[in-house]
């Protein structure tokens, strides 16, 4: 099987923090062939080496930071089954700023990209008779749930499954064609992109994972999570130089996990908030408590943003928007970013104010509510909206192109007197 | 009830054709004449209860019809948001930027032309709640199929006006159900003429064989006669892109070629031949899809029409909800100088083929830029307008020299020298 981790074995990564300050002004372009040669020589005994097009390239188009982030929720899962390599690569092709996904763990402790704790809705597990006896009932956030749980399968077994599109009204043609991928493979896809693409992994259901999966040396799920990020060079505070080269946000619904990993990494963290009826899974605190000024003041020592469900920011009645709550205003007052979830194109998800038009929804959330990032199932649509309304300024980097454009505007000008 | 025909009683309309040539150069003089003519009109009409309201008289400075990009045809008004073919749906469409408002013309029992798509009232009105009409249900043959329901031609205009129109699709907004009445063809025309900019009309001669079978007019007049009579009465005339046409643009559409040929003798307004799905023969001449889309037939019909309006899935077939390679219908039509106005574009994902990623703007892009159609019948006027404004904006923005210089100035200030 094609090993996607090949491109990550670059000695430079580990010394990033020290070298970062002087890096940008160095003519690193000249050093790259030399370091490549050294790498080749040094790695001669090893079968893996970076492919020419995929080594770290200082001239990669950087992360855009002038408009709200396009967060590819589970990849482009409007078009491909969620959290597969195809969904993520499609999202990158469509212009995602960050690819987003949920991290869980297999029975043998490998971190995988998977949203549900059960495999029933998003894989063809039901067709695998060899696993039929693994079905069981567990308590998931207070509800007894029956199904095939991810932590009952080794990575090899998980890899034998095919992922399917969970929504019947979306394209079913790729069902069973793509496997579940690991956290490392997810990272590889981001690092492999032709431009800087960030990652937005979630520490998913950590209490449940730690209950059912054990790692040697007393390590916990959160430890392995951060370990993986460090191994691939993800570090640095939000908007620092090193962060901008490999942007990442760590997200979780579990405040204790976020606080715990704060001691392990200075990467920016985002506190996810569920619907108003759902208490936090680890601390059993209500929505009202964790969105109070008091709590936000507390959690902002650990996170730089919140990720609420969008219908709790602006309530909905009879499928029409109500006046917005003050959540975004209060968060912004505390210098917390707001990245709501989830934007979907299908009309059953669009409130009537938006005339069945996903672009009107983007317009409302970006211009009226003023959020800082959007988790969307339709990366391409959000990207198109942003390119039409707030295009990347890099187009006019060339003086000649700018003069050309001005010239054509003047020639199109029609004197009203004529 | 508010009578929307008030704005149409302008003596100028009848002399339009003669005055049209000299009109543009007289623009400033006309502006001076307007208050005078208004006063005369007021005096002249003193005995009549109706007169044009100040904001609604014909205004030579109305923003003209755009003709540089494909037409935005508001299919039954903005029926994605409002119940179809109501005043609200049409006014919303105009607000959202429609070039033309489209609708289907049928006739009441007493011969009044009304805006209504279905020959039965069941799906789009609250007829079921009107116990007083319960006994009017019957079965008729509609294009070869026996259909049971309440037929529009069994009700007088007064009775039809007592009904409330409802949103036919359950997944669209139901909050206006029963709130708006069916409108007449005249009211439809009034809405267009009343708009603050030039908005065209695109009425359909709907099911003419059936209408003529069940509704009779005095003097041996037929449905098609009354249809054109109404258009003439409100000043609609002129060949496509003529000066008079541009002031009051209109297309006449029908699935029935004989009706189109018939009205060709009555008016020079442009006509469009609608073509149904590949399995459905023409309702009047019983000709197959293949026959009426053949080069031979198109060569014949182009003597009477300037365009065709096919169902879009017959132009580009669909398999497993994915587009197939396009057929040559558009190419052949364009080769004969026939425009193509396909129907119908809808935002909801169940109508969007998978190539479009559930994104209606991708569908517009495909049909406008890849297929190259000349007009689009859409249920979502606002979305098409937004797409067109973003990708092919109206050039009128740069009419002001100051605005142009402002824009250039901001582009230069945003410019970043790559060396810095």
- pLDDT tens for chain A, 418 residues: list them: 434 343 434 444 444 443 444 444 444 556 666 666 665 555 555 545 555 555 556 679 999 999 999 999 999 999 999 999 999 999 999 999 999 999 999 999 999 999 999 999 999 999 999 999 999 999 998 899 999 999 999 999 999 999 999 999 999 999 999 999 999 999 999 999 999 999 999 999 999 999 999 999 999 999 999 999 999 999 999 999 999 999 999 999 999 999 999 999 999 999 999 999 999 999 999 999 999 999 999 999 999 999 999 999 999 999 999 999 999 999 999 999 999 999 999 999 999 999 999 999 999 999 999 999 999 999 999 999 999 999 987 555 567 777 877 777 776 665 544 3
The pLDDT of residue A406 is 78
The pLDDT of residue A414 is 54
Residues of B near A (Cβ–Cβ under 8 Å) read 78, 80-81, 171-173, 175, 320-321, 347-350, 354, 357-362, 380, 382-383, 386, 390-391, 395, 398-401, 404, 407-408, 411-412, 414-418
Residues B149 and B209 in one domain: yes
Instruction: Say which CATH number the domain at A358 has.
Output: 3.20.20.190
Residues B44 and B60 in one domain: no
Residues B131 and B20 in one domain: no
The pLDDT of residue B61 is 79
Report how far residue B26's alpha carbon sits from residue B12's, in angstroms, rounded to the nearest whole number. 14
- The H-or-E segment that residue B37 falls in is helix B27-44
HSE, side-chain direction, 13 A CA sphere, residue A115: 18
- Taking CA atoms, A224 is separated from A153, A203, B191, in Å, by 18, 10, 67
Chain A partners of B416 at a C-beta cutoff of 8 Å?
Answer: 393, 396-397
Residues B34 and B61 in one domain: no
> Which member of A169, A409, A414 has the closest CB to residue B399?
A414
Place of tokens 């409302």: A364
Report how far residue A125's alpha carbon sits from residue B128's, in angstroms, rounded to the nearest whole number. 49
> Smallest Cα–Cα separation from A260: which of A210, A331, A332, A308?
A210
Residues A82 and A119 sit within 8 Å (Cβ to Cβ):
no
> Smallest Cα–Cα separation from B278: which of B314, B316, B325?
B314
Residues B138 and B23 in one domain: no
Q: What is the DSSP string of A97-112?
A: SEEEEEEEE-TTS-EE
B211-235 mean pLDDT:
97
pLDDT of B12 over the 80 cut: no
What is the pairing mode between strands A269-273 and A305-308? parallel
Angle at B361 between CA B357 and CA B365, to 5 degrees: 100
Q: Could you tell me the pLDDT band of residue B15, with boundaries at 50, 70 and 90?
A: very low
> Smallest Cα–Cα separation from B345: which of B72, B68, B67, B65?
B72
> Smallest Cα–Cα separation from B293: which of B250, B336, B324, B254?
B336
Nearest CA in chain A to B394: A412
Residues B246 and B114 in one domain: yes
Residues B366 and B388 in one domain: yes
The pLDDT of residue B195 is 96
Sequence-distant (6+) residues with CB within 8 A of A276 are A287, A288, A312
| Cβ distance of A380 and B359 shorter than 8 Å | yes
Place of tokens 């390119």: A387
Residues B244 and B17 sit within 8 Å (Cβ to Cβ):
yes
Chain B partners of A358 at a C-beta cutoff of 8 Å?
Answer: 358-359
> Which member of A319, A347, A384 has the closest CB to residue B347?
A347
Task: Assess if residue B305 is contained within a domain.
Answer: yes
Torsion angle of C-alpha atoms B301, B304, B305, B310, degrees rounded to 10: -30
The pLDDT of residue B190 is 97
Q: Sign of torsion, CA A32 A37 A40 A43?
A: negative
> Smallest Cα–Cα separation from B283: which of B346, B341, B209, B344?
B209
Task: Assess if residue B420 is contained within a domain.
Answer: no
What is the pairing mode between strands A316-317 and A320-321? antiparallel
The pLDDT of residue B414 is 65
Task: Assess if residue B249 is contained within a domain.
Answer: yes
Report how far residue B126's alpha carbon sits from residue B104's, in angstroms, rounded to the nearest whole number. 19
Q: Locate B402 and state its tokens.
A: 């100051």
Q: Locate A181 and state its tokens.
A: 């991928």
Neighbour tally for B171: CB within 10 Å: 11
Nearest CA in chain A to B175: A318
Number of independent structural domains in chain A: 1
> Which member of A169, A171, A402 has the closest CB to residue B415?
A402
- The H-or-E segment that residue B254 falls in is strand B252-254
Report how far residue A38's alpha carbon sits from residue B180's, in angstroms, rounded to the nearest whole number. 78
- The H-or-E segment that residue A183 falls in is helix A183-191
**Percentage of the residues of chain B whose pLDDT score is greater than 90:** 78
Task: Assess if residue B411 is contained within a domain.
Answer: no
| Cβ distance of A416 and B398 shorter than 8 Å | no
The pLDDT of residue B407 is 74
Q: Which pTM value belongs to this model? A: 0.82
SS3 call for A305: strand
Residues B24 and B156 in one domain: no
| Cβ distance of B173 and A352 shorter than 8 Å | yes
Sequence-distant (6+) residues with CB within 8 A of A325 are A312, A313, A314, A315
Residues B35 and B175 in one domain: no
Nearest CA in chain A to B393: A388
- In this prediction, the answer to ipTM > 0.85 reads no
Nearest CA in chain A to B349: A346
Nearest CA in chain B to A382: B359
Extract the runs of DSSP E, i.e. beta strands, from B315-371. Answer: 318-319, 322-323, 339-340
Question: For the purposes of burial, counting CB atoms within 10 Å of the CB of A186, is it exposed (0-12), middle (13-18) or buried (19 or more)?
Answer: buried
Sequence-distant (6+) residues with CB within 8 A of B420 are none
Q: Locate A408 and state its tokens.
A: 């054509």
Average pLDDT over chain B, rounded to whole?
89
Q: Locate B351 and state its tokens.
A: 């109508």
Chain A partners of B400 at a C-beta cutoff of 8 Å?
Answer: 416
Task: Assess if residue B287 is contained within a domain.
Answer: yes
| Cis, peptide link before residue B344, omega less than 30° from 0 | yes
Residues A312 and A276 sit within 8 Å (Cβ to Cβ):
yes
Q: Sign of torsion, CA A86 A89 A94 A96?
A: positive
> Which member of B382, B390, B417 has the closest CB to residue A357?
B382
Long-range CB pairs of A289-294, under 8 A, 24+ apart, other chains included: A290/A255, A291/A327, A293/A330, A293/A334
Chain A partners of B348 at a C-beta cutoff of 8 Å?
Answer: 346-347, 356
Task: Assess if residue A343 is contained within a domain.
Answer: yes
Task: Assess if residue B410 is contained within a domain.
Answer: no
Disruptive mutation site among B27, B359, B369 for chain A (greatest number of A CBs within 10 Å):
B359
Residues B284 and B369 in one domain: yes
Residues B7 and B33 in one domain: yes
What is the pairing mode between strands A98-105 and B138-142? unpaired
Q: Locate B2 and state its tokens.
A: 């508010």
pLDDT of B73 over the 80 cut: yes
A341–chain B nearest CA distance, Å: 18
The pLDDT of residue B220 is 95
> Smallest Cα–Cα separation from B333: which of B304, B299, B362?
B299
The pLDDT of residue B408 is 78
Task: Assess if residue A166 is contained within a domain.
Answer: no
Structural domain of B28: 1-50
- Taking CA atoms, A215 is separated from A150, A278, B337, in Å, by 16, 30, 73
For chain A, percent helix, then strand, then coil, each to nearest 5? 40, 15, 40
Residues B129 and B34 in one domain: no
| B187-197: pLDDT as tens digits | 999 999 999 99
Report how far residue B135's alpha carbon sits from residue B141's, in angstroms, rounded to the nearest whole number. 19
């Amino acid at each position: 099987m094609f090993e996607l981790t090949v491109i990550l074995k670059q000695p430079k990564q580990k010394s990033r923090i020290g070298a970062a300050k002087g890096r940008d002004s160095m003519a690193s372009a000249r050093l790259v062939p030399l370091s490549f040669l050294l790498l080749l020589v040094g790695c001669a005994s090893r079968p893996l080496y970076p492919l020419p097009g995929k080594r770290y390239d200082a001239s990669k188009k950087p992360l855009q930071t002038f408009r709200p982030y396009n967060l590819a929720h589970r990849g482009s899962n409007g078009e491909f089954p969620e959290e597969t390599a195809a969904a993520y690569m499609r999202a990158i092709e469509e212009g995602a700023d960050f690819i987003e996904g949920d991290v869980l763990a297999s029975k043998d402790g490998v971190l995988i990209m998977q949203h549900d704790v059960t495999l029933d809705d998003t894989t063809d597990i039901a067709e695998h008779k060899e696993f039929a006896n693994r079905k069981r009932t567990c308590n998931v956030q207070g509800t007894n749930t029956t199904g095939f749980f991810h932590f009952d399968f080794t990575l090899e077994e998980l890899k034998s499954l095919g992922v399917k599109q969970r929504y019947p009204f979306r394209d079913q043609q790729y069902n069973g064609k793509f496997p579940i991928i690991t956290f490392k493979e997810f990272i590889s896809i981001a690092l492999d992109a032709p431009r800087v693409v960030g990652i937005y992994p979630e520490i998913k259901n950590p209490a449940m994972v730690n209950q059912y999966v054990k790692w040697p040396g007393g390590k916990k799920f959160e430890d392995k999570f951060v370990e993986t990020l460090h191994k691939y060079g993800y570090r640095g505070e939000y908007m620092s130089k090193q962060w901008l080269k490999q942007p990442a946000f760590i997200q979780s619904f579990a405040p204790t996990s976020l606080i715990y990993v704060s001691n392990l990494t200075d990467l920016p963290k985002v506190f996810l908030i569920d619907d108003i009826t759902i208490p936090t899974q680890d601390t059993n605190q209500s929505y009202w408590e964790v969105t109070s000024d008091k709590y936000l003041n507390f959690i902002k020592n650990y996170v730089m943003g919140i990720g609420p469900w969008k219908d709790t920011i602006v309530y909905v009645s009879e499928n029409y928007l109500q006046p917005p709550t003050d959540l975004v205003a209060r968060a912004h007052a505390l210098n917390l970013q707001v990245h709501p979830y989830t934007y979907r194109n299908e009309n059953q998800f669009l409130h009537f104010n938006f005339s069945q038009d996903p672009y009107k929804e983007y317009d409302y959330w970006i211009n009226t509510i003023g959020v800082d990032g959007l988790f969307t199932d339709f990366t391409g649509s959000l990207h198109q909206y942003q390119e039409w309304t707030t295009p990347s300024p890099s187009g006019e980097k060339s003086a000649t192109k700018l003069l050309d454009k001005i010239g054509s505007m003047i020639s199109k000008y029609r004197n009203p007197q004529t």
